[in-house]
Amino acid sequence: MKIRTVIVDDEPLARERLRALLERDAEIDIVGECADGRTAVEIISKEAPDLVFLDIQMPELDGFGVLAELQGKRMPAVVFVTAYDRFALKAFEVHALDYLLKPFDRERFEKALSRAKEQVGKQQTQDLGTKISSLLADLKPEAKVGDRLAVKTSGRVVFVKLEEIDWIEAADNYVNIHVGQTSHLLRETMASLEQRLPSKNFIRISRSAIVNMDRVKELQPLFHGEYAVILRTGARLTLTRGYRESLGRLTGL
């Protein structure tokens, strides 16, 4: 019996590489492939695969978010595909969850696939939900932001105070942190950073923007329920209809 497999990664080249490697194995049947977390939840729920290669850092709903939404359902074997640093990867090792660190070579891929096959063959996926729940619980406290963000750039680390941030812009698997006339690129998805930021100060106004509420100067109504959000720096952003609930928090009404 073939191992029904789903590939989830927002990078087209990464999906192509995984597909090419998996197609070389006669035991693998690729039943789904997608580029975002929301679609991943739908495909995994519908197809009930035996194995998933799951990217962690994706826009909107990341890999951890996908697993959180699947909790309570039958869990497939999971091989995480990630660019996380070694410190974070230690958590995967502690909970016996396999991963591929980008960029990975064919030998490392085959090792991960072999482990996954063994897990599927022995039907050891029943305790995967428990392992994943423990992993999420362990990573969540470590992910909280204090009063500043550490941004690695050009071999050095820049500390950005949260109170100085004007707004944050999505940039694929990165976020662009705008501070006055400067900006800092941080490798993190909007979804994961939004969870880490204090909600009393920061608010999501669209798929691509989070604002510091203390930096908002003015709101101007646009068409179809949208609003222009004018910051004290003069930056003009848009609060989209999908985030209308944010309007009440901004106005206090």
Q: Please count the helices (runs of H) and the strands (runs of E) in the chain.
A: 8, 15
Last residue of a domain, one of 119, 142, 165: 142
> How far apart are alpha carbons 172 and 174 in whole angstroms?
5
Is residue 204 within 8 A of residue 194, CB to CB? The reply is yes
Q: What is the pLDDT of residue 70?
A: 81
Cβ–Cβ under 8 Å, residues 165 and 212: yes
* Alpha carbon distance 217, 18 (integer Å): 47
Q: Which residues pair with 230 in a beta bridge?
A: 218, 236
Measured N-to-C along each axis, helices 37-47 and 63-70 cross at an angle, to the nearest 10 degrees, of: 40
- Same domain assignment for residues 92 and 157: no
Per the structure, the count of domains in the chain is 2
**Do 166 and 67 have their domain in common?**
no
Do both 8 and 69 map to the same domain? yes
| Strand (E) or helix (H) holding 186 | strand 182-186
Size (the chain), residues: 253
- Which of 142, 171, 203 is a domain's end point? 142
> Which residues make beta-bridge pairs with 182?
179
Are 21 and 107 contained in the same domain?
Answer: yes
Instruction: Classify residue 164 by its DSSP letter.
Output: G
Which pLDDT does position 226 carry in this prediction? 92
pLDDT of residue 195: 75
How far apart CA 199 and CA 81 sit, in angstroms, is 29
Domain boundaries, position 53: 3-142
Same domain, 163 and 238: yes
Q: Is 189 helix (H, G, I), strand (E, B) or coil?
A: coil
Please state at what angle helix 12-23 crosses helix 106-121, rounded to 10 degrees.
60
CA angle in degrees (0–180, nearest 5) for 118-121-125: 85
Note whether 41 and 117 are same-domain residues.
yes
Strand 182-186, strand 174-179: pairing: antiparallel
Which DSSP letter does residue 95 get?
Answer: T
> Which domain CATH number covers 233?
2.40.50.1020
From the number of C-beta atoms within 10 Å of its C-beta (0-12, 13-18, 19+), residue 5 rates as buried
pLDDT confidence of residue 245: 79
Peptide bond into 103 cis (omega under 30): yes
pTM of the full structure: 0.56
Other CB atoms within 10 Å distance of the CB of residue 214:
11
The CATH number of residue 120's host domain is 3.40.50.2300
Per-residue pLDDT tens, the chain, 253 aa: give them. 799 999 999 989 999 999 999 999 999 999 999 999 889 999 999 999 999 999 988 876 788 888 878 876 778 888 988 876 554 566 566 666 788 888 889 999 999 999 888 888 766 555 666 676 676 666 554 455 668 888 877 778 888 999 999 999 998 778 999 999 999 998 888 877 887 888 889 999 998 999 999 999 999 999 888 999 999 999 999 999 888 878 888 887 5
Q: How far, in Å, CA of 100 to CA of 138, rounded? A: 20
Domain stops at, among 111, 142, 173? 142
Q: Which two tokens stand for residue 235?
A: 């930056």
In this prediction, residue 26 carries a pLDDT of 94
Phi, psi for 113 (deg, rounded to 5): -65, -40
22 with 138, same domain: the answer is yes
